[in-house]
Structures are given as structure tokens and as C-alpha cells.
Amino acid sequence: MTTADQESRRKLLAVDDDGTIRALLHTALQGHYDIHCVPNGPEVPGLIAGSKPDIILLDINVPGSESYALCAGIRDQAALESVPILFMTVCRDNEGFFENLRTKGNSFIRKPFAIPALEKKIAALLK
């Protein structure tokens, strides 16, 4: 891959406390995106400000940060208000869906998910 190819790749930030999920995301998506995976919420605002990702994958149950509040905080920053946020969740209830909408997350995917389904959601959000 050339330097120009690397510079043109979209940046993806994934936040999940589960190391297995982070490794899976990194392995599955590194061929298409410049992906950075982090284990918890407190470092996310600084990473977002510094890296300016094109999309954020955010586990709803991240220790050290209330993910919906983090999403709302991202939306409060003018430079980040249009960055798509895809929530990842094990929740099976509608409450999570409505909270996602309230905090202006763009979409969500339920765990466990198939990588092709995740790739399809990411591609749709980046259009």
C-alpha cells in the first residue's frame, strides 16, 4: 500500500471494553480503514479531537464512560456533529434504540454481529 493510499483511507475509531471484540474489529476492518481501537471511554474525547475519525463505533456499555453521554458530548462539538456514530450493543430492548436516537447516534448493531453486516452498516453511514 502506498502512502497516498494510506492517507486516503477513512479513519475509524472503535471503542469497546472487550479485547476480543477490539481484536476482531481491527482484524476485520484494517484492510479497508485506518482503524484505532480503544478499551474505554475516558480517553475517547482526546482521541476524537486529535484524530478526527470519519466514523465512530461505540459500545453502549463502555466502563469509565456513559456512552450515550459521550455521544451527546461529541454532538455538542461543531467540528464533530456530522461524524457518524454506530452504537454496538448486546441490548435487546427498544429503550436502547430510543436512547440512541435521543443522543443523535446514527445507527446501532446488536452483538453478536456478522462482519459483513457491520461492513454494510459502516459503508451506508459513510455515504
Asked if residue 109 has pLDDT above 50, the reply is yes
Mean pLDDT of the chain: 84
**Predicted pLDDT at 120:** 97
- Residue 80 is classified by DSSP as G
Cβ pair 39, 77 in contact under 8 A: no
- Out of 3.40.50.300, 3.30.930.10, 3.40.50.970, 3.40.50.2300, the CATH code matching 14-115 is 3.40.50.2300
Could you report the per-residue pLDDT of 31-78, keeping only the tens digit for each? 999 999 998 767 777 788 888 899 999 988 766 667 777 888 888 887
CA dihedral of residues 38, 40, 44, 45 (deg, nearest 10):
-170
Is the model's pLDDT at 108 over the cut of 50? yes
Q: What percent of the chain has pLDDT over 70?
A: 83
Residue ranges of alpha helices (H) inside the chain are 3-8, 19-29, 44-51, 67-75, 94-102, 115-126
Residue 21 is predicted with a pLDDT of 95
70, 97 Cβ separation under 8 angstroms = no
- Residue whose C-alpha is closest to residue 32's, from 127, 124, 113, 123: 123
pTM of the model as a whole: 0.85
Q: Residue 88: exposed, middle, or buried by beta-carbon count in 10 A (0-12, 13-18, 19+)?
A: buried
Q: Average pLDDT of 13-29?
A: 95
Write down the pLDDT at residue 99.
67
Greater confidence (46 vs 29) lies with 29
- 36 bridge partner residues: 13
What is the spatial distance between Cα 8 and Cα 10, in angstroms, rounded to a whole number?
Answer: 6
pLDDT value, residue 4 = 47
Q: For residue 25, what are the contacts with CB-CB under 8 A and spacing of at least 6?
A: 14, 16, 35, 37, 57
Query: Which of 18-22, 40-44, 75-79, 116-120 has the least mean pLDDT?
Result: 40-44
